[in-house]
Every structure is written in C-alpha cells, then in structure tokens.
C-alpha cells in the first residue's frame, strides 16, 4: 500500500473542522450536533455478470447532515472507495452547501468497482441495484445524489428511473446531474469547472495576477479537469500541463486542449493515452512532478491526498484552486501557508457543481426550465458572492481561506441546528 493511501481522509476532515471550530469556541454540545455523520449505510450488492456468474459489490451511502435541508452529494464508483473516504466526502458536502448558501445538508455515496472493467449492462445493473437497495434513504426531500468520480448523466438516468418505477411516479428531483432531455439543467455538465473559474477570477483579481497571461497545470482530466482546461484556455490562459491515469503531459508553450479533448474522444474510454503523438508535448517521467511545476495556478482535479507533507515543500504555484475534494492534507496546508500559496479551498472552489444541482432540483420541483444565460448568471453571482464572503472572513479572523470557509459554514450549520432544537 502506498504512502498516499495511508492518509485517512476522514481524519483530515476532522482536523480541518477542529481547527476552525476552536476559533469560534463552539460548546461540546454544538460540536456533537454538527461534526460526525448522521447515518452510515453499507450494502452488499449482488450483480449478475455477462458470463452468468454473480458478483458482490460493496456500496455505501453516508448522510452527514440533514440540518439545513435534504442530504446532498454525489455517488462515486471507484475500486478503492472506503467508508472513511465517503464519510469525509459527505462531511465536505455539508460545509460546501453551507458556504454557498444552498439549502441542503451533506451526503455521499460510493461503490467499490472499476466501471472500466464492466460491460454497459453490468454497469446499468449495478447502478440500479445500488439505488434500489438504498431507496428508503433517497428522495427529493430526504437525500438527493448526483454524479461524482466515474459516474455520469446516463447513470443518473438509470437511478432516477429505478426510483420512479418503484414509486410509480415521475420524480426527477430525486437525483441531479441528469441529461437535459430528462430533467437536467443547462450548465450542469461544466458547473464544477465554471464555478472554479469564477473563484479563480476573484482570486487573481485579489492577488493582482493577470489571468490572461497565467500559466496553469491541471491534475485530472475527467469532468472537472477537462472543462477547467477548456474554459481557462478560452480565457486566454496557458495550460502547460494536464494529466490523468495514463500519465502527465507538459509543454511550456501550452498544450492544445482541443487536441487533448479529441484524443480522449478517439480513445475508447475518456483517457489521454497517446496525447504526445497527437500534439506537441512531452510525457513526464514522473506524473507527480506536474504538481511541482513553476506555474501561476495549480488545479488538482482528481482525488484526495495529492499534495502532502512530502511534496508540499516542492510546490511552486502561486494559487491552488481545489477542483477535487480533499486534494491537500492538513499537514501540507501548513507548509503551503508558510510558503504564501493562496489556496481556494474545495468546499468553496468546487461548489459550482452542487450549486447548479440545486438549480436543477428547483427546476424539477416547479417543472419549468431556465435558460443557459439565467443559470450562468445565478452561478456567477453565487460563486463570487461566496468567494468575497470567505475572503472577508479570512481577513477578519486572520486565517487562510480554508479555515475562513469552514468558519462561515460552521456558523450557518450551527445556527440552523440551534433553531431546530432537539426532538427528544
């Protein structure tokens, strides 16, 4: 097992919470009400494989909080998903929703599987079985999932259909991230990356960095990373490095992002394999060096625990925009703070996804759909307002942006918990 895997994301999340909570001196009772997850469900999912055999997959759903609204958060399909990872991700959802002021609690789901090894039918059967098994938890007013790592709009459709068939009603509000043809929202696909870009605009303004001339490295080329590259290139920035599980690719003059997208489309699965043959760039010997390049902005858009105490001393970016959840460990945070790296924390930076999920859920409930312009405008307003509120907090309390975001969010969740009181 590698060093990276030994960092427990839930322990990291708890350290972040404790650090922020100590600054506003919460009582033990207040902490007890908002820190630990409310409900953890683990299931074994039998799925018939195409060769006729039956395979069991482990699935999780964690509802961290339902204080400010229904639990909300994606479902991740990954071979190394653990319950502690899902607990951390659900925790971050609670505080992410609170930072941007969308009326949801926090949840997250995970299924231990490698979707690339499954046939389309096996993937559909697994998705439906997971949703059916958890159908008591899910509901437009109780727990609303969405896409996350390795899940997509088609999978959301299968899950929505499974739920609606059980309930004998058309209930698109049970899940977000659906395609436009089936109750999805404009802008949802690019929402995480677009929300990040709005934050980066605010951050570069604040730091006097010219975004048009900025150099950028992006780790991860899935939904968040690929849209991030596309959108920032449209801004005029130079994307000097991108990566995914096939490796990291570098060109100091900038990588042709259209060629990268074309390469992914041509490969059977969405992967950058062979990029160095399609467009001028070199494949880095050690993909980890992408994180240590001299760039203005570094965007981790893959998994947790990528920047640790080991490599943080080598980070040379001025700004880190956390498109992924939990990419920087608490130990790395301290090192980066001393190096004056400006971090836009995940619970703010990647909140564009859940913000447009909220707008999708609202549209599902009224059965009326807004234009792309309207969604773009709402997203920009919410992200920039939230960024400014977090920056203000960081100045008032003289803390970094992560702690400031938690302070703002913890205050909101605590207030809601107090107003609700205890039913007992």
User: Any idea which residues carry the catalytic annotation?
Assistant: 108
Report CA 41 to chain centroid distance, whole Å: 21
Give the residue with the Cβ less far from ligand GLU, 176 or 394: 176
- The residue of the chain with the least Cβ separation from ligand GLU equals 74
Torsion of CA 214, 216, 222, 227, to 10 degrees: 10
Q: What is the DSSP string of 304-364?
A: SS-B-TTTGGG---SEEE--SSS-B-HHHHHHHHHTT-EEE-HHHHTTHHHHHHHHHHHHH
Give the residue with the Cβ less far from ligand GLU, 147 or 247: 147
- Helix H segments across 46-139? 83-99, 120-133
What is the nearest approach in angstroms of ligand GLU to the Cβ of residue 259? 28
Q: How many CA atoms lie within 13 A of 361 on its CB side?
A: 25
DSSP at 232: H
CB 281 within 8 A of CB 249: yes
Under 8 Å CB-to-CB from 214, ≥6 apart: which residues? Answer: 204, 237, 238, 295, 296, 297
CA distance 220 to 224: 8
Give the residue with the Cβ less far from ligand GLU, 199 or 293: 199
Give the residue with the Cβ less far from ligand GLU, 299 or 354: 354
What is the nearest approach in angstroms of ligand GLU to the Cβ of residue 53? 31
- Judged by phi (left if over 0) then psi (alpha if -120 to 50, else beta), residue 69 lies in left
**Residue 94: both structure tokens together:** 């609670």
Give the residue with the Cβ less far from ligand GLU, 72 or 178: 72
Q: How far is CA 109 from CA 65, 67, 113, 159, 223, in A?
A: 14, 18, 13, 13, 18
CA distance 76 to 60: 10
What is the nearest approach in angstroms of ligand GLU to the Cβ of residue 113? 17
Give the residue with the Cβ less far from ligand GLU, 72 or 238: 72
Residue numbers of the site for ligand GLU (CB under 6 A)?
A: 72-74, 146, 148, 176, 325, 350, 353-354, 357
Among candidate residues 273, 307, 355, the one with its CA nearest the CA of residue 93: 355
Q: Which residues pair with 293 in a beta bridge?
A: none
What is the nearest approach in angstroms of ligand GLU to the Cβ of residue 296? 25
What is the nearest approach in angstroms of ligand GLU to the Cβ of residue 355? 8
- How many of the other CB atoms lie within 10 Å of CB of 42? 12
Give the residue with the Cβ less far from ligand GLU, 193 or 317: 193
What is the nearest approach in angstroms of ligand GLU to the Cβ of residue 179? 15
What is the nearest approach in angstroms of ligand GLU to the Cβ of residue 360? 8
């Amino acid at each position: 097992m590698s060093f990276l895997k030994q960092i427990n994301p839930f322990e990291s999340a708890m350290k972040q919470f404790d650090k922020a909570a100590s600054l506003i001196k919460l009582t033990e009772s207040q902490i007890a009400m908002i820190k630990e997850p409310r409900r953890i469900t683990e299931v074994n999912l039998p799925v018939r494989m195409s060769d006729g055999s039956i395979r069991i997959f482990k699935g999780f759903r964690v509802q961290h909080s339902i204080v400010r609204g229904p639990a909300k958060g994606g479902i991740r399909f990954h071979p190394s998903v653990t319950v502690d990872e899902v607990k951390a991700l659900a925790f971050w959802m609670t505080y992410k929703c609170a930072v941007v002021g969308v009326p949801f609690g926090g949840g997250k789901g995970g299924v231990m599987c490698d979707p690339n090894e499954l046939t389309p039918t096996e993937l559909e059967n697994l998705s439906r079985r997971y949703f059916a098994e958890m159908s008591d938890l899910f509901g437009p007013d109780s727990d609303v999932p969405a896409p996350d790592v390795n899940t997509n709009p088609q999978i959301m459709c299968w899950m929505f259909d499974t739920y609606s068939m059980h309930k004998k009603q058309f209930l698109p509000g049970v899940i977000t991230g659906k395609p436009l043809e089936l109750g999805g929202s404009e802008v949802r696909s690019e929402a995480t990356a677009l929300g990040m870009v709005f934050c980066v605009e605010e951050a570069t303004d604040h730091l006097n960095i010219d975004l048009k001339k900025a150099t950028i490295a992006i780790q991860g080329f899935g939904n968040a990373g690929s849209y991030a590259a596309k959108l920032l290139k449209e801004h005029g920035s130079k994307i000097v490095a991108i990566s995914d599980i096939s490796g990291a690719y570098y060109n100091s003059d900038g990588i042709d992002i259209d060629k990268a997208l074309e390469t992914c489309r041509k490969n059977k699965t969405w992967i950058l394999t062979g990029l160095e043959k399609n467009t001028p760039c070199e494949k880095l010997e050690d993909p980890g060096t992408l994180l240590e390049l001299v760039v203005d902005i570094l965007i981790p858009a893959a998994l947790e625990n990528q920047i640790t105490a080991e490599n943080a001393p080598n980070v040379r970016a001025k700004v880190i925009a956390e498109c992924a959840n939990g990419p920087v460990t608490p130990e790395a945070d301290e090192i980066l703070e001393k190096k004056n790296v400006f971090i836009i924390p995940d619970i703010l930076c990647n909140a564009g996804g859940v913000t447009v999920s909220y707008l999708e859920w609202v549209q599902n409930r009224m059965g009326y759909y807004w234009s792309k312009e309207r969604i773009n405008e709402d997203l920009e307003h919410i992200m920039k307002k939230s960024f400014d509120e977090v920056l203000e907090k960081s100045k008032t309390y003289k803390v970094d942006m992560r702690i400031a975001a938690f302070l703002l969010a913890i205050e909101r969740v605590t207030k809601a918990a107090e107003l609700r009181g205890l039913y007992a």
